[in-house]
Amino acid sequence: MLAFTTIASSSCTLWCLLFLTLASGNGVTAAAPPRVGSGYKLVSLVEHGGALVGYLQVKQRTSTYGPDIPLLRLYVKHETKDRIRVQITDADKPRWEVPYNLLPREPAPPVTGGRMTGVPFTGGEYPGEELAFTYGRDPFWFAVHRKSSRETLFNTSYGALVFKDQYIEVSTALPRDAALYGLGENTQPGGIRLRPNDPYTIYTTDISAINLNTDLYGSHPVYMDLRSLAGHGVAHAVLLLNSNGMDVFYRGTSLTYKVIGGLLDFYFFSGPTPLAVVDQYTSMIGRPAPMPYWAFGFHQCRWGYKNLSVVEGVVEGYRNAQIPLDVIWNDDDHMDAAKDFTLDPVNYPRPKLLEFLDKIHAQGMKYIVLIDPGIAVNNSYGVYQRGMQRDVFIKLDGQPYLAQVWPGPVYFPDFLNPNGVSWWIDEVRRFHDLVPVDGLWIDMNEASNFCTGKCEIPTTHLCPLPNTTTPWVCCLDCKNLTNTRWDEPPYKINASGQTARLGFNTIATSATHYNGILEYNAHSLYGFSQAIATHRALQGLQGKRPFILTRSTFVGSGAYAAHWTGDNKGTWENLRYSISTMLNFGIFGMPMVGADICGFYPQPTEELCNRWIELGAFYPFSRDHANFASPRQELYVWESVAKSARNALGMRYRLLPYLYTLNYQAHLTGAPVARPVFFSFPDFTPCYGLSTQYLLGASVMVSPVLEQGATSVSAMFPPGSWYNLFDTTKVVVSKGEGSVKLDAPLNEINVHVYQNTILPMQRGGTISKDARATPFTLVVAFPFGAREAEAEGAVYVDDDERPEMVLAEGQATYVRFYASVRGKTVTVRSEVNMGSYSLQEGLLIEKVSVLGLEGTGRDLAIHVDGANATAIAASSPYFAGAEAELHGHHDHDVEERKKSVMVEVGGLALPLGKSFTMTWNMQIEA
C-alpha cells in the first residue's frame, strides 16, 4: 500500500482516484495526498524558426513546495532526423540550465519576457522524419511517438505538470513490459535493468559505492527503454538535461521526475537499436574521448605506497611474477602533507622519482598520480597563493568557502570561472615540469567535504589534528546553514539515501560560483567542469592524447575522461555489482570504465581475488586498487592469484588490438566497449535483465564466476555458435533455450567469441608497448559445421601519442577483414584504408585460425594487393587442425557428424598494411 500512496502523492490523477476507491472498498482509510499542482493549459502555439513555440498558463495556483510559475514557455524542435527536443521553462525570466560552454549544443531561444510570434499552429501532431510530437491543450500534456509505427515513447497525460521555482514534476506512462536502463550513478543490487519501486535519486555525492540504491558520484538523468514488439527489440532513450537534484520514481507503468530547480529540457532519441541510441546520444553530448593504447593495459595502485622504494618494489614484483603491468599509480602518498601538485621531499624526493620515471618510461610503462580539487589554505603554499591572487575560489558571503579534506582546511577552485580554469591549467603545467606524469586522476570532486555548513578555522585547536588516525573527521568550527531556501529547499530529495541536507559533506548550496551561479544549481557539474579543465591542461602541455580518470561525472564527461566505480568492498556481492555499474556507464557515453579489482577495502579472500582479476582483466579500464588500511593485494601476493592473472591478463593483452579498435569505434559512434548482451541480441528477450555476463564489442562474451566456491558457471548464450577463446576447440552451440553449464576451475574464466566474427589478436606480452609490435592472428569464427557462411571484423592501429584519434595517412591504418565459406572453398580477405602506417611499423599477420569447419585445408593460394605473392607472404605456410568439444543445446547428429572445429593456416608473413586474399579448399580425411 505504501507504493500506491507514494505514486499518488504528486497529484490526484486517475491512478490516485482508483487507489482511493480500492482502499475505501477494502475498509482502508486513505488520506488524500496534498495537491502539489493542478497543471497548465496551452494558451498559444506558433511555428517559429523551424520549431514550435507555445505558452502554458497555470490552471489553478497551489502553495505546496512554493507558488506555481504562472506562465511557461514550450519549445519543441526536431534537431535531427532521430532526435526531438522538448523544453519547458519560465516564460518571463531565464532559469538555470546546464551552461552551453560546458556542454555545447544547439541553443534554445533566450527567454526575454516577451511573447514569441509566428504562424499559428493548429495541427494535432508535429512530425519529424522519425519522431512526432503530439499534445493536449487543457490540461496541457505532450507525447512523443514513432512516426512509422505510432508507438508511444513518452506520454505526460499520466499526471499533472507542476512547475514551481524549486519543484518541478512531470510523469510519463510506460508499458509494463518495457525494460529500462540508466538513471545513475548508483549501485543496483537487482542488476542492470531498473526495478520498479527502487529509489533513483540523481545528485553527485561522495558516498561509498557499497551503499545500494543511493545517489553516488555521478549524475546521469538519462534512461534507455527497450521493448519487444512483434518479436523485435526496439529501443529509444530519454534525457532530461538538468543539473539540479532530482528523485525519479519508476513504478513499472509510470515514471515520475521530481526536480528541485532548473527547467525541463527533454531530448528523445529514436534508436531503434541500442547501438543507434548510444550513437545518437553521444552525437549530442559529445563522443567518448580516445584513450591511449597503454590505457588498455593493466594498472596497479594502492593508497598506502608510503615511499618510492615501495613503488619500485611493486613494479619489480609484477615483472618477477611475469604478470602484465603497464601503469603504476600513486594515490596521495607522493604529496607533501596531502597538498596538490607537490612531492613529499622525504618519501618521494624529486631526483629519485625522476630517475625511476626515466627507467619505467624507457620500458614503455606509465605513471599517474592523484589530485583532489581542495586546495590547502596555507600561506606558504604557492598553489594557494596564486589561486588567491587570481580570485579563483568558490565563495560564501563574499569570502572563499572553507571546507576540509585530506590536507585539512581547503578552498575549492571554481571551474566555471575562466580565471579558475586558466589558473588550473597553469598549475598542471607547473606540476608536469616538476614530474612528467602520464595522466591525472581527479578524485573527491563531487565535491567531497569532511565538514558541513559554514566553517571557520578553529582558534582553540589545530586542524588538521596532529598525528590523527581519522583525518576524515571534521576539525573545523562549523554551523549549519538553515536560513536559506537553497540549503533547505521545500522539497527534500532522497540525498545519500536518507534525505540528507543538500550541503551535507559537500559545498554549501548557497555558495556561489562565477557570475553569481549558485552551488544549488551547479553542484552536480563540479567534477565535469574539473575534467574539462584538466583535459585542456594535459592536451595543451604534452601534445599527446590525455588520460584522465575522474570519480564524479555528468552528462558529457565521457568526452574528457575515464571513470572507475569508486570505493567498493572486497565482497562477492560487490564483484557482481561492478558489472551493472560498468555497463551503465557504457550507456552513459563513458566506455572507459572499471571497478577496483579485488575491492578497495577490506582485505579480499584469496579466492575472491582470483575471481576478481579474472573478471577485471576484461573491464575496459583494468586496475587493482586498495585502501591504506587493507593488507597488500597486488596480484603477485598469492601464487594462485598470480596464476589467474597470468591467464586472464594474458588473454587481455592478446586482445589489445580488438579492445583498441573498440576504443576507436567508441570515439566515432559512442558504441560501448563493454555492453549488455541485448546490444547485439535485442530480439532475444531472456537477456534483457542479464547482469552476470556481458559483451566486449559485438561478439566477445565474458562469463565470470561470481559465487564463492563455484567451479562452474551457468551461462546464457543467445542462439548460435560460441567458441572458447582460451581453447577454441571448445564450442557452445546454443538454441537460446536455458543456460549452459561451463567448467570454471579456480584459475580459469570463460570468454567466448560469437560466430560470423573475425577477431584480430596478437601474441601478447607483459607490457602493451611490446605486445602491440607482435604479429597478428586472425580468428575467423563461422557457425559450427557451416557450409555457407560469412564473417567479418576490423582492426585500427595508430600512433596513440597523437591527441586526435583520426584515420590519416602515415598516422593510422584501418583494415576490414572478410571471410566466407562456400561448400569446400574458404576465402579470407582484407581491405586496407591508409596502409602506410602499418607498413612503416612492420606489422604482420602470421596466422589465420578458422573455427567451425570440418576437415583440413589444401590448395592454399595467396594474393597481396592483387598479385600472386605466396612466396613473400608465407615463408613456410602450414595447415593444422583440432577436434571439437561441444557444449550447449545442439542436435545429436551435429555432434556425430562434426569432428573438427579449427583449421589453422600458420607460418604467414602478410603485411597488415596491404590488402590480401587467401583461398583454400577443405578436405575430409578418413
pLDDT digits (tens, 9 = 90+) for 400-446: 999 999 999 999 999 999 999 999 999 999 999 999 999 999 999 99
Can you give the pLDDT at residue 886? 78
Task: Read off the pLDDT of each residue in 622-629 and give the average, rounded to a whole number.
Answer: 95
| Within this chain, domains 293-661 and 676-921 share the same CATH topology | no
Alpha carbons 222 and 180: distance in angstroms, whole number: 10
Can you give the pLDDT at residue 821? 97
Q: Is residue 9's pLDDT more than 60?
A: no
Contact of 591 with 694, CB cutoff 8 Å: no
Contact of 201 with 184, CB cutoff 8 Å: no
* Confidence band for 96, pLDDT divided at 50, 70 and 90: very high
Share of the chain above pLDDT 90, in %: 89
Can you give the pLDDT at residue 197? 95
Question: At 95, phi and psi to the nearest 5?
Answer: -120, 160
Count of beta carbons in the 10 Å neighbourhood of residue 225: 23
Question: At 180, phi and psi to the nearest 5?
Answer: -110, 145
Check residue 427 and report its DSSP letter. H
DSSP letters spanning 382-406? HHHHHHHHHT-B-EETTEEPEEEET
* Confidence band for 247, pLDDT divided at 50, 70 and 90: very high
Q: Is residue 16's pLDDT more than 50?
A: no
Can you give the pLDDT at residue 272? 98
Share of the chain above pLDDT 70, in %: 94
The one catalytic residue among 225, 414, 427, 567:
567
CA-nearest of 828, 854, 671, 670 to 759 is 828
Q: Is residue 14's pLDDT more than 70?
A: no
Alpha carbons 895 and 425: distance in angstroms, whole number: 64
Alpha-carbon dihedral angle through residues 570, 576, 582, 588, given to the nearest 10 degrees: -120
Count of beta carbons in the 10 Å neighbourhood of residue 778: 25
User: pLDDT tens for residues 124-166?
Assistant: 999 999 999 999 999 999 999 999 999 999 999 999 999 999 9
List, in order, residues 6 or more apart from 447 with CB less than 8 Å away: 206, 373, 374, 403, 412, 506, 507, 526, 527, 552
Can you give the pLDDT at residue 898? 53
| Residue 878, amino acid | Y
The one catalytic residue among 446, 519, 748, 854:
446
Can you give the pLDDT at residue 881? 77
- How large is the greatest C-alpha to C-alpha distance in the chain, in angstroms? 92
User: Sign of the CA dihedral 514, 520, 522, 523?
Assistant: positive
438 counts as catalytic: no
Contact of 738 with 719, CB cutoff 8 Å: no
Can you give the pLDDT at residue 885? 79
891 counts as catalytic: no
Alpha-carbon dihedral angle through residues 805, 809, 812, 815, given to the nearest 10 degrees: 120
* Confidence band for 80, pLDDT divided at 50, 70 and 90: very high
User: pLDDT tens for residues 353-390?
Assistant: 999 999 999 999 999 999 999 999 999 999 999 999 99
Can you give the pLDDT at residue 868? 72
Alpha carbons 837 and 809: distance in angstroms, whole number: 7
Q: How far is CA 610 from CA 622, 627, 638, 646, 764, in A?
A: 14, 18, 9, 11, 21
**For the chain, what is the total number of helices (H) and then of strands (E)?**
17, 56
**Quick one: angle between helices 639-654 and 308-321, nearest 10?**
80
Question: Residue ranges of the domains in the chain?
Answer: 40-285, 293-661, 676-921
Three-point CA angle 379, 382, 384, nearest 5°: 60
CATH architecture of 676-921: Sandwich (2.60)
Can you give the pLDDT at residue 32? 45
841 counts as catalytic: no
> What's the whole-number average pLDDT of the chain?
93
Place of cell 585530506: 406
Check residue 512 and report its DSSP letter. B
* Confidence band for 837, pLDDT divided at 50, 70 and 90: very high
The one catalytic residue among 82, 169, 340, 443:
443
Q: What pairs with residue 684 in β-bridges?
A: none
Instruction: For 636-661, give the secondary structure using H, E and C.
Output: CCCHHHHHHHHHHHHHHHHCHHHHHH
Alpha carbons 166 and 489: distance in angstroms, whole number: 7
- Looking at domain 293-661, its CATH superfamily turns out to be Glycosidases (3.20.20.80)
How many CA atoms are closer than 13 Å to the CA of 428, on its beta-carbon side? Answer: 33
Can you give the pLDDT at residue 900? 66
Q: Which fold has domain 40-285?
A: Immunoglobulin-like (2.60.40)
* Confidence band for 756, pLDDT divided at 50, 70 and 90: very high
Q: Are strands 596-597 and 548-550 parallel, antiparallel or unpaired?
A: unpaired
Q: Is residue 214's pLDDT more than 60?
A: yes
* Confidence band for 889, pLDDT divided at 50, 70 and 90: low
Can you give the pLDDT at residue 752? 98
Q: Is residue 882's pLDDT more than 90?
A: no
Task: Read off the pLDDT of each residue in 883-902 and give the average, rounded to a whole number.
Answer: 62
Q: Is residue 30's pLDDT more than 70?
A: no
Alpha carbons 677 and 2: distance in angstroms, whole number: 35
